[in-house]
Amino acid sequence: MSFPSIHRHGYPFICLAFLCSCIGFALSSSLGVIFAMITALCAYFFRDPMRVVPMNDALVVSPADGVVTSIVEVESPLDDGKTVTRISIFLSLFDVHVNRVPVSGTVKCIEHRPGSFSSAGSGGAVNENERVRAVIESSVGGHSVVVEQIAGVLARRIVCDLETGKVAKLGSRMGIIRFGSRMNIYLPAGVPIYVAEGHTVVGGETIVASLDADIAAVHKDLTFDKV
């Protein structure tokens, strides 16, 4: 039986909890058990399983595990006057919180926007909560695809590992949001969307859209890679 790896940002939490459990057992068995459970919960939260990623740069995959809460047409967050399709995904406390690159391309910019920490599932979180926004110029079509990591009530720490000017590979790891959160992706209006509100998605694996209208005809010919 194999176990998923742990994201590197989880090790400080796990080590601290483990140290507390060792001290706890020295003082009291019940106290040690409590901290041992906290250690296990930390390891569970920061799990980082491999994902089977489709190998086609025209595809858009889910950037996170969770549930699609809305798919709407909105004004582009880039303030360029364009209308785009926004797909919002809510991550519960029990979902994998390692985020994945939704589209292959070059990272054009990364922006941290301060804000509130209201519930990530609320409507106000879309525009008001603290977030990190990355803009990726897709390798297919040269589209500006925006992906947002959004904080929540418990998610007070957003980590984005992307670097401006670097190439981001479809389905690769891009960061983590700690303890319950939300992600948005903004796609060109009119692209084929393959998910609907209420669908459960898997980060790096679930195909949510395509930047090539003809890609649906070749789904059966896709190849995959473990990332």
Residues marked active site are found at: 181
Residue 143 and residue 153: Cα distance in Å, rounded?
A: 32
Six token digits for residue 154: 């418990």
Sequence-distant (≥ 6) Cβ neighbours of residue 63 within 8 angstroms: 89, 99, 100, 101, 102, 147, 174, 183, 185, 203
Residue 77 and residue 83: Cα distance in Å, rounded?
A: 9
Residue 98 and residue 181: Cα distance in Å, rounded?
A: 11
For 55, which DSSP code? Answer: -
Six token digits for residue 188: 């060109």
CA 165 from chain center: how many Å?
20
CA 161 from chain center: how many Å?
12
**What torsion do the CA atoms of 51, 52, 54, 59 make, to the nearest 10 degrees?**
-30
